[in-house]
Chain A
C-alpha cells in the first residue's frame, strides 16, 4: 500500500518568514496530493491540492510543488502569520484510498 512520509514533524518560524513542509510517497499510481490544515481541537480542512499532471499550484501565500519522478511534493507558506499556526497534513491518493502523512506542527512566533 501507499506510504507517505512527512518532514519535519515540528517547525517553528518567525512571523513573516517562509515555511516549507516536504512529503514523499511510495505508490506510483497516486495521482492526487492534497494538503490539510488542522487547528487545535478542530477538524482537518483542505487548503490546497495538486494533481499528477501539474507541477506547481499557488493560492495567495500558499504553494505546492510536485515532482512525480522523485515521488515527492512540498507545501510552501510565505509571509507566515500567527493564524498559520496549526498542524499540516500531506496526503496521497490513488482512485481508491487516501493515505496521510504523520503531520507537521507549525508554530509562528510573533
Chain B
C-alpha cells in the first residue's frame, strides 16, 4: 500500500530533551516536507527536500533540523524542544521534485512539550 508513515503518533516530552520524529514514504517520491499545524494558523512549512542530500528552510525553520540521507526517509529533529513547539506535525511527499503536484500527507504526530 502506497503511504507516508510517521512515528511516533503521539509524544509528550519535557523542555530540552532531544527528540526525532521519523517520516518514511514508499512511493519513490522526490519532494518531502514537514509542516506544523496550529489553530488559526493553518499549515506552515518547516523544511523541505527536493532530493537526497538537498534540504532547505520553509517558513518556520527555527528550532528544527532535518536530513535526507535516503530518498524514502525524512526525519525531523528537535535538538532542544521548547513549549512553543507543541503542535501537530505532518510529513508529506510529492512525486515531483517540486511542490507543484499533490502532497500526500502522513497521519500526523501530536507533540506536547512541557
Bound Cα distance from A46 to B103, whole angstroms: 7
DSSP class of B's interface residues: helix, strand, loop or mixed?
Answer: loop
Q: B residues 32-51 with Cβ under 8 Å of A? A: 33, 35, 40-45, 48, 50
How many Cβ-Cβ contacts under 8 Å join chain A to chain B?
A: 60
* Shortest Cβ distance from A90 into B: residue: B42
B56 x A96 contact (CB < 8 A): yes
Any chain A CB within 8 A of the CB of B106?
Answer: yes
A100 x B44 contact (CB < 8 A): yes
B43 x A100 contact (CB < 8 A): yes
Bitwise interface map of B from 12 to 48 toward A, beta carbon under 8 Å scored 1, else 0: 0000000000000000000001010000111111001
Any chain B CB within 8 A of the CB of A93?
Answer: yes
A100 surroundings in chain B (CB, below 8 A) = 35, 42-45
B99 x A93 contact (CB < 8 A): yes
Supposing A96-B48, A96-B56, A97-B48 touch, asked if A89 and B42 sit within 8 A by C-beta, the answer is: yes
Supposing A43-B107, A43-B108 touch, asked if A6 and B42 sit within 8 A by C-beta, the answer is: yes
Instruction: Please tell me which one of the listed residues A43, A97, A103 contacts residue B105 in the complex, with CB atoms under 8 A apart.
Output: A43
Q: How many residues of A contact B (CB 8 A)?
A: 25
B103 x A102 contact (CB < 8 A): no
Any chain A CB within 8 A of the CB of B98?
Answer: yes
* Shortest Cβ distance from B100 into A: residue: A32
Any chain A CB within 8 A of the CB of B59?
Answer: yes
Any chain B CB within 8 A of the CB of A95?
Answer: yes
B103 surroundings in chain A (CB, below 8 A) = 34, 36, 44, 46, 98
B residues lining the A interface (CB < 8 Å): 33, 35, 40-45, 48, 50, 56, 58-59, 90, 98-103, 105-108
A residues lining the B interface (CB < 8 Å): 1, 6, 9, 31-32, 34, 36, 43-46, 49, 51, 89, 91, 93, 95-103
